[in-house]
Amino acid sequence: MLEDAELQTDPSLEGQTAYLVRELLVSLGENPNREGLLRTPQRVERMFDELLSGYKTDLVTMVNGAVFQSNYRDMVLVKDIEFYSLCEHHLLPFFGHAHVAYVPDGKIIGLSKIPRLVEMFAHRLQIQERLTEEIADALNHVLQPKGVAVVVEASHMCAMMRGVKKAKASMITKSLRGIFQTNEKVQRDFLAFIQRNGE
């Protein structure tokens, strides 16, 4: 068994987030120098760097020129995009799937960019309603299509493990732009497509 002095890390070498996590552990009555918590501040700092990496990504850099001229005129849909985010109210995860569609008006975007767009906004402190709107607004800005539709389905740990403690409850939000708002058939087609299971 290592001695306490050997297990300790130098707090002066920690980043600000790790330092604050260490202070949080102390305020909770824990000993941040015990073996199980020794590297916890640094681990949490790295975790937040990853989970909040969306703040370091901008739309232009993410798209990276992957917008192409096209005569395709029908709906483009990418469904069941898995995502994980952090609720800004409790810093607890919420997670689920996003379904993103657009009807082009002369331009299409590279397939991988739509999941990356979802990830960019999910990797920030969020609420589901804003996440849904930001995805729709960004795709609308980049492509200026005839319409955009986004549906997000998610489970929230802040409602599952605390508060109301409803583990099976999920939340659905949607954001519609352009033809998805004004054309009922296009909207119905979109909703029908996202409800299909591998047909």
Q: What is the mean pLDDT of each run of 10 residues along the chain (199 residues)?
A: 45 83 98 97 97 96 97 98 98 98 98 98 99 99 99 95 88 98 98 81
Residues 6+ apart with CB under 8 A from 116: 62
Element (H, E) at 194: helix 184-195
Residue 128: active-site member = yes
User: At the top level of CATH, which class does the domain 11-54 belong to?
Assistant: mainly alpha
Residue 31 burial (CB count, 10 A):
12
Find the Cα–Cα–Cα–Cα dihedral 139, 128, 52, 10, rounded to 10°: 180
Residue 42 burial (CB count, 10 A):
17
**What's this model's pTM, rounded to 2 decimal places?**
0.90
Would you state the pLDDT for residue 11? 60
| Active-site pick, 8, 35, 89, 129 | 89
Element (H, E) at 99: strand 93-103
Amino acid identity, residue 86? L
Q: What are phi and psi of 49, to 5 degrees?
A: -60, -40
Can you read off the two tokens belonging to residue 61?
Answer: 């850099």
- The domain segmentation of the chain, as residue ranges, is 11-54, 58-195
Sign of CA dihedral 124, 126, 128, 129: negative
Residue 87: active-site member = yes
Residue 88: active-site member = yes
Would you state the pLDDT for residue 5? 42
Whole-angstrom Cα distance, residue 15 to residue 77? 42
| Active-site pick, 87, 119, 123, 126 | 87
Would you state the pLDDT for residue 168? 86
CATH number of the domain located at residue range(s) 58-195 in this protein = 3.30.1130.10
Would you state the pLDDT for residue 13? 60
| Active-site pick, 14, 90, 144, 187 | 90
Residue 89: active-site member = yes
Question: If you search the block for the tokens 């995502």, which residue do you land on?
Answer: 83
